[in-house]
């Protein structure tokens, strides 16, 4: 089974539909299987004590609630995204951050993801699991008891191992947890959602047998935004997909050693 590659656009579009389309284009050129967004109702997701806090942004000073709305696509924009993804022949879905967003995304995709920040939200998990046919969840910033509880309630199809620091220190990636998840949940697909600098740990996760890979994508890591520095630029995403495909080709099969056709000429030259 080929590894599925998700290019997470997330909020790296900065509320600009043109940037979102450019990132979709990059994902298509790279050969990704999906693009992913993040869907929120800011009125629900922003804590009351933070709503009126003033934040400096490239678009001027505004309240944190105004900023979150500035970053959020509305229904018309998501219709445009849906149409553009169909035009470019790539699938899309979203992480859902609240129950309103679950209801919204149900119109567009049978795939939903519970982000790491919300796997302790039982109500959200229940609604998402009932509203899609393929449910993902990420395990970042959670301990084993929290993960076990979420898996028991959500019964997800896919569990992503991830570290939720942006960017993640390489010494904290703990890729061996992938093996733990594979052994503990043999009936689940296991994926890797990377937030580290570079591509090597993500490639290592592929060698370890994950069936899904997710990386944030950006046009330029120096762009404004909290997720940009932990994201992969266009040339990096093209390389990553190529590396993953080459890893898949190189893995081969288990069993006794065979002499490959590519070795025969050298065998005859050296052994006669």
Residue 71 CB: number of other CB atoms within 10 A? Answer: 19
Q: Which pLDDT score, from 0 to 100, does residue 72 have?
A: 96
Neighbours of 212 (CB within 10 A): 21
How many contiguous H segments (helices) and E segments (strands) does the chain have? 11, 10
**Distance of alpha carbon 71 from alpha carbon 58, whole angstroms:** 12
pLDDT value of position 253: 85
pLDDT by residue, tens only, the chain of 272 residues: 699 999 999 999 999 999 999 999 999 999 999 999 999 999 999 999 999 999 999 999 999 999 999 999 999 999 999 999 999 999 999 999 999 999 999 999 999 999 999 999 999 999 999 999 999 999 999 999 999 999 999 999 999 999 999 999 999 999 999 999 999 999 999 999 999 999 999 999 999 999 999 999 999 999 999 999 999 999 999 999 999 999 999 998 888 999 999 999 999 999 97
Give the distance from CA 12 to its chain's centroid.
Answer: 13
172 φ/ψ angles, rounded to the nearest 5 degrees: -105, 10
92: which 2 tokens? 């899309």
pLDDT for 254: 86
Centroid of chain to Cα 211: 12
CB 156 within 8 A of CB 128: no
The confidence score (pLDDT) of residue 1 equals: 63
Domain extent, residue 35, equals 4-271
CA dist., res. 221 & res. 215, Å (int): 13
CATH number at residue 120: 3.20.20.70
What is the number of domains present in the chain? 1
């Amino acid at each position: 089974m080929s590894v599925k590659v998700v290019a997470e656009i997330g909020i790296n579009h900065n509320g600009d539909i043109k940037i979102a389309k450019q990132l979709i284009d990059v994902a298509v050129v790279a050969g990704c299987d999906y693009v992913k967004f993040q869907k929120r109702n800011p009125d629900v997701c922003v804590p009351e004590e933070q709503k009126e806090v003033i934040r400096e942004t490239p678009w001027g000073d505004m309240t944190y609630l105004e900023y979150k709305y500035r970053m959020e696509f509305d229904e018309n924009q998501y219709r445009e995204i849906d149409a553009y993804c169909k035009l470019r022949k790539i699938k899309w879905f979203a992480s859902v951050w609240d129950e309103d967003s679950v209801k919204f995304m149900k119109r567009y995709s049978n795939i939903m993801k519970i982000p790491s920040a919300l796997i302790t939200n039982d109500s959200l998990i229940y609604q998402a699991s009932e509203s899609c046919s393929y449910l993902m969840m990420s395990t970042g910033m959670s301990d084993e008891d929290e993960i076990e509880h979420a898996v028991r309630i959500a019964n997800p199809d896919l569990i992503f191992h991830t570290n939720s620091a942006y960017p993640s220190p390489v010494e904290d990636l703990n890729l061996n947890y992938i093996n733990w998840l594979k052994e503990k949940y043999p009936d689940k697909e296991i994926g890797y959602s990377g937030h580290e600098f570079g591509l090597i740990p993500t490639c290592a996760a592929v060698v370890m047998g994950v069936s899904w890979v997710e990386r944030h994508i950006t046009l330029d890591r120096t762009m404004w935004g909290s997720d940009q520095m932990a994201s992969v630029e266009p040339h990096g995403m093209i390389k990553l997909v190529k590396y993953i495909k080459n890893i898949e080709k190189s893995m081969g099969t288990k069993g006794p050693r065979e002499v490959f056709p590519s070795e025969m000429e050298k065998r005859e030259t050296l052994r006669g």
